Amino acid sequence: MSGKSVSTVPRRQLGRSLRQLRERAGVTLRAASQRFEWSETKMWRIETGRSPVRALDVQMMCGAYEADEAATSALMDLAREAKTPSWWQTFGDTVPMGFDVLAGLESAASSIDTYASDLAPGLLQTPDYVRAIVRTRFPDAPNDDVENRVRFRMARQTILTGKRPPTLRAVLSETVLRRPMGSGQVMAAQLAHLVYVAGLPGISIRVVPLATEAHSGALAGAFVVMRFPSPTGGIGEPTTIYGDTYTGGYYHDKEAEVAQYTEAFEGIWSTAQDEDTSRGVLADTARSYQGG
């Protein structure tokens, strides 16, 4: 999933959907390759998302597999999307290692669940909060580098207001609210921003008080659960877990691992204060920082 020019998520979704259509039609890989006059290796690379495929070729394949008009149109659009340069390409080396993968997954996700144990979730951070994080992590970074990182983070957040925004559930440990990142004014603005976005459609935020008994999040650490739609109603991109570490991120998409993190998130979600109570806590804490 590496590479900063094109996101591989649409390509993988396309390949998986084409394979499902072929199998439903009862067509073997060999028979399909002979019909299209392609090698089996090329067919395999297309179906595993390792090679791009033209929209016209997708139309031909869908016809051979007797796909309906809606599925054919959706997959042709996906083929075009898979060849579109990714928005983060313009940020060049500013993009932290591995974050191009995360940005691609976020852009394709239909729902995102995130548990934040120490810092506000990246998709909900204010510019000044991001600056404080970058300055803490890279105290000697040039101003231009800092500002590029801020612009990159803000660009990531546009998925929440785009044409197909994912639903977002965020659970914050109270530590996120109490640990200052930057000045009191920065924290006040960050928490006020969380109050605002918590009122937007499709976004829900809950807070876990420090006094809450030990829960799974205390063991799991911060993590994100991303789920993806299927263009044809079949099996889509596998649910993926992302976690951030000091030296880089990690990804899990194996069923057993995903199940553990999903269960952990649901446990944290049910333990946290409800959305209305949490908005009140965020607003009260924001006021406590004002003038700091």
Closest residue by Cα to residue 158 from 193, 215, 107: 107
Residue 137: φ, ψ to 5° = -75, -40
Whole-number Å distance between alpha carbons of 225 and 115: 9
Note the pLDDT tens digit of each residue in 48-86: 888 889 999 999 999 999 999 988 998 988 888 878 766
Burial class (CB in 10 A: 0-12, 13-18, 19+), 262: middle
Residue 2 scores a pLDDT above 50: no
Angle between helices 55-64 and 69-82 (to 10 degrees): 150
Stated pTM of the model: 0.79
Whole-number Å distance between alpha carbons of 33 and 258: 34
Note the pLDDT tens digit of each residue in 144-167: 999 999 999 999 999 998 888 999
Amino acid, single-letter form, for residue 140: D
